[in-house]
């Protein structure tokens, strides 16, 4: 399990991940970004709801589907909002993730993008297993019950 560091502030959360999947173990990963991309992230122009993580054919850990909007004042720099971004984890964390992926039905979903206390953009990823339709209905019922309880308290 990754060490929980002080988060300066959260940029975006993937609410859909907790509805679609049962999230188990989580990790904090660094993201390899260009200058224009980090400026867009600080402006909260990022979406991770369609994203997922994978190992490419060379064994490099990447995220696909994370959309970072173009930064208007980037000048002549080339910007590709849909490119695959590299994720940075330690060797032991990478081994753990790779071994867990061998299990049937396990996927890696992005949970939250945040700026660390050192000023770096980081992403929290989780090992998740897909929910069935009846599990999703149970989640919605539990959510409604909790709302009712909070309403009367």
Complete domains list, the chain, with CATH: 7-152 (2.40.280.10)
**What is the per-residue pLDDT across 37-77, written as a single tens digit (0 to 9) for each?**
888 888 888 889 888 899 989 989 999 988 888 877 766 66
Given this model, what pLDDT does residue 84 score?
A: 87
Across the chain, which has 153 residues, the per-10-residue mean pLDDT values are 61 85 90 86 88 90 88 69 86 91 87 90 90 78 87 85
Given this model, what pLDDT does residue 36 score?
A: 81
**C-alpha gyration radius of the chain:** 17
Given this model, what pLDDT does residue 125 score?
A: 93
Given this model, what pLDDT does residue 31 score?
A: 92
Given this model, what pLDDT does residue 92 score?
A: 94
Q: How far apart are CA 24 and CA 127, in angstroms?
A: 5
Given this model, what pLDDT does residue 5 score?
A: 53
Given this model, what pLDDT does residue 75 score?
A: 62
3-state helix, strand, coil in the chain (%, to 5): 30, 35, 35
In the chain, the largest separation of any two C-alpha atoms, in whole Å, equals 57
């Amino acid at each position: 399990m990754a060490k929980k560091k002080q988060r300066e502030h959260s940029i975006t959360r993937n609410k859909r991940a907790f509805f679609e999947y049962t999230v188990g173990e989580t990790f904090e990963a660094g993201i390899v970004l260009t200058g224009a991309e980090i400026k867009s992230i600080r402006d909260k122009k990022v979406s991770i709801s369609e994203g997922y993580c994978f190992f490419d054919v060379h064994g490099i850990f990447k995220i696909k589907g994370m959309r970072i909007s173009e930064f208007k004042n980037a000048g002549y720099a080339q910007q590709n909002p849909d490119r695959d971004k590299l994720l940075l984890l330690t060797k032991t964390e990478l081994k753990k993730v790779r071994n867990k992926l061998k299990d049937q039905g396990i996927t890696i979903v992005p949970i939250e993008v945040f700026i660390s206390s050192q000023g770096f953009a980081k992403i929290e990823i989780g090992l998740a297993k897909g929910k069935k339709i009846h599990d999703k209905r149970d989640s919605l019922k539990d959510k409604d019950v909790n709302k009712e309880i909070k309403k009367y308290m």
